[in-house]
Amino acid sequence: MNISTIAVVGAGQMGSGIAQVAAQAGFKVLLHDVSDSLIARGLENIENGLQRLQRKEKISSEEGASTRARVYPTAEFSDLAAADFVIEAASENEDLKIELFRRLNEICRSEVVLASNTSSISITRLGSRSGRPDKVIGMHFMNPPQVMTLVEIVRGLATGTDAYETVRELSERMGKVTMVAEDSPGFIVNRVLLPMINEAVYCVYEGVGSVEDVDRAMKLGSNQPMGPLALADLIGLDTCLAIMEVMKDVLGDDKYRPCPLLKKYVDAGYLGCKSGRGFYRYKDA
Ligand code: NAD
């Protein structure tokens, strides 16, 4: 594997976290989003992350500075042509991702692997629509990527062994532990996690318990580090809804029906931590 430059497409909470992890592992990172202001927000997340590590004395100020210097922000899609490997972490929307993979295929060298951080969307479909199906693969980091050690690797039907080996090796260089999931909606982690979160939302919707009590019940009653509704806020309620919709559409089982209250929150723009308000309030929202 000869990879020195990694492009990260999407500078949201996952993209910025992945960019930080890759830069800390010594890679040059091209961080791309659709506008300078969105990229600036991603850089701010990275800055906060590095400052936190420095305060905890997990990295020195020199390491912080060299990590920062390895991140190259760009709003120019064509700049991504310089990448040796791409991680797509744009919003969870299939049409958007298909278009991104089609455009990445046009500009990236033919040997470059294009990985998606998607939580639920078919890698096989992204691959077949990209024009390089053997080089398209799922590389599913957990939230926050700077902290969580797992990377769920998802092979599409046509994904080649070389692409798989590249992602496994790269994940290890970033200090991650990998496992493999079949290309099925939600893969393993979200197939199990999201129905639980959705059920927690139903509990609030149906008046079974308050937001606080549902979370307290699951934290203390099933030993989870955080309650499912706080976790939904961390993931992003729009992302939770998108994952449930993919599972409902593709698996066709009513048990994946997103709770109407989840839809209502997303309609209201209550997207969780990233928008300042979800099941809980953050900042001054
Ligand atoms: P987010 O809303 O924080 O960020 C998404 C970013 O993608 C935004 O900054 C947006 O401007 C950008 N974007 C949209 N269209 C784009 C385009 N055409 N080109 C470049 N950038 C574009 O969302 P997120 O939580 O970071 O999720 C990103 C991806 O990671 C999704 O596929 C999601 O399912 C997946 N994921 C999320 C979590 C989580 O807990 N939030 C965990 C694992 C995986």
pLDDT digits (tens, 9 = 90+) for 206-247: 999 999 999 999 999 999 999 999 999 999 999 999 999 999
Where residue 91 falls among pLDDT bands split at 50, 70, 90? very high
**Top mutation candidate among 122, 153, 239 for ligand 1, by most atoms within 8 Å of CB:** 239
What are the structural domain ranges in the chain? 5-181, 189-275
From start to end of 103-172, where are the E strands? 113-116, 136-141, 150-155
Could you give the CA distance from residue 249 to residue 185 in angstroms, rounded to a whole number? Answer: 9
Q: Do domains 5-181 and 189-275 have the same CATH topology?
A: no
Where residue 256 falls among pLDDT bands split at 50, 70, 90? very high
- Residue 174 pLDDT greater than 80, yes or no: yes
Quick one: CATH architecture of 189-275? Answer: Orthogonal Bundle (1.10)
For residue 61, what are the CA distances in angstroms to 40, 145, 245? 21, 21, 44
**Could you tell me if the CB of 163 is within 6 A of ligand 1?**
no
State yes or no: is 152 an active-site residue.
Answer: yes
Give the model's pLDDT for residue 1: 62
């992003």: which residue's tokens? 236
Angle between helices 94-107 and 123-130 (to 10 degrees): 40
CB 101 within 8 A of CB 114: yes
State yes or no: is 143 an active-site residue.
Answer: no
CB 30 within 8 A of CB 10: no
State yes or no: is 140 an active-site residue.
Answer: yes
- Residue 154 pLDDT greater than 90, yes or no: yes
Give the model's pLDDT for residue 284: 58
Share of the chain above pLDDT 70, in %: 99
- For domain 5-181, say whether CATH 3.20.20.100 is its number: no
Where residue 42 falls among pLDDT bands split at 50, 70, 90? very high
Ligand 1 centre to CA of 234 (Å) is 13
CB 28 within 8 A of CB 21: no
Could you give the CA distance from residue 182 to residue 176 in angstroms, rounded to a whole number? Answer: 19
Give the model's pLDDT for residue 283: 76
State yes or no: is 120 an active-site residue.
Answer: no
Active-site option among 117, 119, 130, 275: 119
Ligand 1 centre to CA of 236 (Å) is 10
